[in-house]
Amino acid sequence: MLSDINVTPLVDVMLVLLIIFMVTAPMMMHGVKVDLPRTESKNIKTEEDPLLLTITKKGDIFIEEYKVDYKDLKGKLEKIFANRASKELLLQADKEVAYGVVMRAMAQVKEAGITKVGMITKPLHK
């Protein structure tokens, strides 16, 4: 009688799961879809994954993919960043959003104590 554990089925299942996750991971989209303005800019290098703040064409504000009222934005950002080491945020706004709407959101971000804000745009030559 053999007392060894047969790990071959376990390895087979794990490899299949690994392949499935490798194929599906790039297809997962995070955040809200907006039409970004095109500019020439350099890539932003960050130490950890920064929080994504999105402003849609209608003026709706999203933290990652969760909709937030403008009046609640500062409070939610303070709670999120209370336990984060670096205070980094990326802002993406639809190119048709009024400048004033973006600046109101930026004021709330600054009041929440976020020290680094990056603006997301599309490359100019694509």
Domain 38-123 classification at class level:
alpha beta
104 phi, psi to nearest 5 deg: -65, -40
pLDDT in tens, the chain (126 residues): 667 788 888 899 999 999 988 888 766 655 556 665 666 655 555 556 778 899 998 889 998 888 999 889 999 999 988 887 777 888 888 888 888 888 899 889 888 888 788 887 777 665
Classified as helix, coil or strand, 73 is: helix
Residues facing 67 on adjacent strands = 62
pTM, rounded to two decimals: 0.61
Domain map of the chain by residue range? 38-123
Reduced to 3 DSSP states, what percent helix, strand and coil does the chain have, rounded to the nearest 5?
Answer: 35, 20, 45
